[in-house]
Structure 1
Amino acid sequence: MYAILDIEATGGKVGEESIIEIAIYKFDGEEIVDQFISLINPERKIDPFVQKLTNITEKMVKTAPKFHEVAKRIVEITEDCTLVGHNVTFDYRMLNQEFNRLGYQYEKDWIDTFEYAETLIPGMPSYSLGKLCDSLGIIVTDRHRASGDARATIALFKMLLDKDNQKIITKKSGIKFPKKVNNKYEKLVQDLPNKPGLYYLYNSKKQIIYIGKSINIAQAVNQIFTSKSLRNNRIKRYTKDIKFELTGSNLLASIKEINEILKIKPYLNLDISNKHLYQFGIYFRENKSTFSRLEPGKGRRSEPFLSYRTKEEAEYNLEKIISDYHLCQKINKGIKNADSCFGYTVDTCKGVCIGEENKVDYNLRLKEIVDKTKYPSDSFLIVSKGREGIEKSFIFIENNVFVGYGYYEYHHQINSVERIKKIMTVAEERPDIKAIIRNYLFKAKENQIIIIE
């Protein structure tokens, strides 16, 4: 759990300043669960420069509570939390200073978003909160006021968590890291969400031993813990804690799973460095002299237009395509008889098998189906659901190559390649990721594609 804070102070000689405003948002890694915002009576003069910068006047704080009157609330809202701020050492020093005056020792772990922004988003012209947010398209309201700056820090922190493939931030603190209790199974799964995302299983040394993804995190983890397979028994034996990360969409979860397994290499995941997960496919066999067809297979010379992890998935989806697009079972399955296919009897075939649809029209329809997986442009975004509210997720294909993914709330954040690259997490294209993208394009709606000129 995190306490994201910002503090405004009187200014003046170091060690003699006092807090004039504080904002604290309790953040569980996904959403704000509590907040405390208040002006503070510093019982001393406010530097004129500070008054001009913050628009907080001495008259405004005259009737505000004094620090000792809000100290208990600050202790309560930050209990069991890691403090997070931009240049947080100042905020932490101010809190320590005020608590020391009360004779209370206030100690917390802390995370500085300035430090991690330099590591995870290199090459920015400036790392001051205002200029960094402007570069990344993060809207800041009430700049130089505690609440406005703290909310901007939350947006920045969420972006840093998204970009943190190596989990350098969560290794220090952790999201939803449950405490040990007697009933291990119930405690481990009780707070997991029924939403799309990734889950990370940790051993007793706080090492990630397994990464998985699902459209329903709770259900997927529950299946592992109730399964009796040798593989899942091994996973259960070593799992001591679970973390998760919501992605909003299954598309992004699928891509992030591959990306993070490659980077972290958990020893209970299959080593995919030199392997393909999506080995089975549906192949298009074009034939101009007779009927073109689709067929399932593996390891053919040509590239499949759709790919899957198992033979069963490929065969099931081929059956679904034949039915959904009114294709002929006889042609695609190589059935040779004089009768119509079964699909014709249940109105899922247009009758090409008995001459009611001509060869040219049928082959053209089939080609249009296959072309649905082609990239609509050299550079484009695929936009899907975000984690909450108006947020959306995206993946970016540039010059026909997948280059990264990210989240945005406002269109101006993705109105240029430069802005897209500032907010996205860079990732490497692999055959498996390309297969995931093509599979998604096959079902994508028109409004989910944004062409980048």
Structure 2
Amino acid sequence: MYSILDIETTGGKYNEEGITEIAIHKFDGHKVVDKFISLVNPEREIQPFVVNLTGINSKMLQSAPKFHEVAKRIVEITEGTTLVAHNAQFDYRILRTEFRRLGYNFERKTLCTVDLAKLLIPEAESHSLGKLVRSLGIPVSDRHRANGDALATLKLFKVLLNKDLNKTIIHEVTRAETLGELSQRQLRIVDQMPSETGVYYMFNKDRKIIYLGKSKDIKKRINQHFTSDTETGRNLQKETRKVTFELTGNELVAYLKVHEEIKRNPPKYRVNGDDLALLPTPNGKPSGQKEPFRLDGKNVMVVDKGREIGERSAVLIKNGQVKGMGFYELNHQINNLHILESILTPVNGGVEVIKQVELYLTYRKVVDIIEINSPN
């Protein structure tokens, strides 16, 4: 027995969203045997982009039931079923969060039609719900409304069930009941992380680094690792016992630190591109045309924000090569190359590092780029 689910939310900060609409179709594998569709008063602000996307606004929800008024019905209709949703991790997390606010631990097994579609229809150009159902000739109406998307997911699920000739795929991709939720240990780790820019290190029980990366928001990134359904994500969730971090004040220093750390302390798991690259954009470049900044033969210091007030970061470029990085107080003498080199951590940047730094200096603002005394 399955509960085909779709939820519309207010948008907003992670784990602070509220439900604005919910649709559940109870499906026995052949036909719908029960359904529940309702607007929900989220008792919080709806983000403007969500209003534009769904058409649901606060005025529509003034007389709608609050979540605690529909919670019992949701529990009853989903009892003994597997929740099925397109990007099930999101819908399940939102639903569990709402129940947790009521002091109730809501647990169900889940199936994700994104995962199923990738396994059973790998040739699809896109696995987003709208594009996928259109490519399969499935009629859909009321996109981005809970019942419209739930019905589209139901029709897609029927197609996927027919394609699952071996009847083994569903068992293999059925997620653990608590997928997308954090354990108490993981919650404690996340709570200790700052919402700032820097480098983070994930350790296993043997105190070995199993993963490291950079982020503009370390807390958010660690949370994403702990709720990810990728192979690396699942391994990190099982093995991580401790996470430490170093603030850098800006992404450029964070990027250089990650590259140096990987060379000196290679982690167990391969670092994801977005956790490693400085500008994770299509084709390696951001949108927009700008005159490229070149390091060729230059002796400059890139000055940017530091870790705290009264501090700046410094990246040393010597003869066009990235040679060092570090931090200095604002009153420190910085225009003498010898003094500068003595306070910075050496960096051995290769061609890719130079390319990334050039892109960064082309498309990102820094505090200053200072010409320094020639080494000769």
Flag the structure with larger Rg: 1
TM-score (norm 2): 0.45
TM-score (norm 1): 0.38
